[in-house]
């Protein structure tokens, strides 16, 4: 099996880690490092990696001033608790970028919001 580990540059790993854990309904926790954290599912599957801007000389993670966070990137998550995730999302932001609607191509409900670093996050219902 092959898996993709999506790594995004963030200003504050602990803050983003807490935000995503709240969005996904995961218990409180802390990232392993102040410069890097992995959000994982209950079975250990990596959902998202958070990397502090400027650490470790990665060319695409030098600074948010070098690139607009999220340019060309859509963080797309499918969840099995859509209604609960929507409720948690509404508590994390002042407004959604896209209100819940059914995607005609997939037949699934979706909504979108921005994370603390400005990334566009799409949430899709796992069940059509």
86 belongs to a structural domain: yes
Contact (CB, 8 A) for 75 and 122: yes
Number of domains making up the chain: 1
For 41-86, the pLDDT digits (tens) are: 999 999 999 999 878 777 777 777 777 666 668 899 999 999 999 9
* pLDDT of res. 60: 73
62 belongs to a structural domain: yes
1 belongs to a structural domain: no
Torsion angle of the four alpha carbons 107, 112, 115, 120, in this order, in degrees rounded to the nearest 10: 80
Give the CATH number, domain containing residue 109.
3.10.180.10
Please give the model's pTM, rounded to 2 decimal places.
Answer: 0.86
* pLDDT of res. 128: 63
84 belongs to a structural domain: yes
2 belongs to a structural domain: no
Give the Cα separation of 28 and 26 in Å (integer): 7
For 78-121, the pLDDT digits (tens) are: 999 999 999 999 999 999 999 999 999 889 999 999 999 999 99
Structural domain harbouring 59: 7-125
81 belongs to a structural domain: yes
Q: Which two tokens stand for residue 68?
A: 């607009």
């Amino acid at each position: 099996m092959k898996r993709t580990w999506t790594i995004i540059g963030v200003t504050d790993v602990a803050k983003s880690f807490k935000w995503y854990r709240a969005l996904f309904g995961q218990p409180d926790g802390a990232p392993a490092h102040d410069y890097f954290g992995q959000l994982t599912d209950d079975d250990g599957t990596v959902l998202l990696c958070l990397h502090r801007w400027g650490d470790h000389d990665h060319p695409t993670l030098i600074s948010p001033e070098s690139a607009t966070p999220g340019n060309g990137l859509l963080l797309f998550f499918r969840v099995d608790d859509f209604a609960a995730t929507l409720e948690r999302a509404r508590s994390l932001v002042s407004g959604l970028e896209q209100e819940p609607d059914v995607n005609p191509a997939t037949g699934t409900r979706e909504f979108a919001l921005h994370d603390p670093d400005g990334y566009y996050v799409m949430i899709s219902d796992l069940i059509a």
